[in-house]
Amino acid sequence: MGHTEEAKTANAHALKMFEELVEQFPGVAEYRFQLVETYVMADPWADEPSSLASTEQQLRQAQGLIDQLAVESPDNSDYIQAQVLVQAKLGAAFATTEAGRRGRGVLPSSDRPGRGAAQGLA
């Protein structure tokens, strides 16, 4: 726990490096995946609201990247697992907001899960 600032600095450096690589080589899936993994290191439980907004932005960028990677390679289990992790972290970030604590959804109705496959299994 005593190395929090060092970890934040290292993460910021990694983000910059992978963002530059993705910009220079957008067709290299490995760079995009490494960027997703670095974005997912964001802490959705941070206390500062500005940090939470930044975390949400990073997770939304990760979501866009990993969703595209999953479309390109639908059988890649690493991409599927990363999609789940990004969604879980977005949920954790939402839970720390006032709307999340009150239990009110902010997703448009088209993005809300319906009676999906999980209920069909019962």
pLDDT digits (tens, 9 = 90+) for 103-113: 555 555 444 44
Give domain status of residue 122, yes or no.
no
Q: What predicted TM-score, i.e. pTM, was given to this entire model?
A: 0.73
Give domain status of residue 107, yes or no.
no
Give domain status of residue 95, yes or no.
yes
For the beta carbon of residue 36, count every other beta carbon within 10 angstroms: 28
- pLDDT of res. 83: 96
Give domain status of residue 86, yes or no.
yes
Give domain status of residue 115, yes or no.
no
For the beta carbon of residue 33, count every other beta carbon within 10 angstroms: 20
Number of domains the chain contains:
1
First to last CA, the chain: 43
- Residues 43 and 53: their CA atoms lie apart, in Å, by 11
- pLDDT of res. 46: 61
Give domain status of residue 118, yes or no.
no
Give domain status of residue 109, yes or no.
no
- Residues 70 and 80: their CA atoms lie apart, in Å, by 7
